Amino acid sequence: MRPMNGLSELREQGRMTWMEEEHGWVAAPEDVVKALSNDGFEECKREMTTSRRDRRPAGGVWQGLNTRTGSVASAIWVNRPTWPQAIVFIAIDGDSLKGGRPRLERDLYQEEGGES
């Protein structure tokens, strides 16, 4: 699988960390979007929701397309009122980017066709 250099740099700099109990990354959404853009994904959709009294967006979604490879990246985030960073869920071509080093982890259960 192709490494995500921009996301790896965020992790190495301590600006993106895996939070197992949330099954997501703690990061600034703009940092994640910038890293994905630097990795070749061009923005094709961005939406934010504002539903709280403090007018800070409750969350958002970003999607990008790498026109060279045809890959699609998605980032969905949820802001917490007391946290300076959001919980960000990242997927490339539908495969979630999970813990440890930023890399794609495929669901082998589904790929193998289920139980044997």
Asked if residues 65 and 71 have their Cβ atoms less than 8 Å apart, the reply is yes
Q: Is the separation of the CB atoms in 71 and 93 below 8 Å? A: yes
pLDDT beneath 70, residues of the chain: 1-4, 51-56, 100-116
- Give strand ranges (E) for 28-107: 42-49, 59-65, 72-79, 86-92, 95-98, 103-104
pLDDT by residue (tens digit) across 19-36?
Answer: 998 899 999 999 999 999
pLDDT at position 40: 95
Count of CB atoms within 10 A of residue 21's CB?
5
Instruction: Find the Cα–Cα–Cα–Cα dihedral 15, 18, 19, 23, rounded to 10°.
Output: 130
Sketch the domain layout of the chain as residue ranges.
5-98
Contact 62/49 with Cβ under 8 angstroms? Answer: no
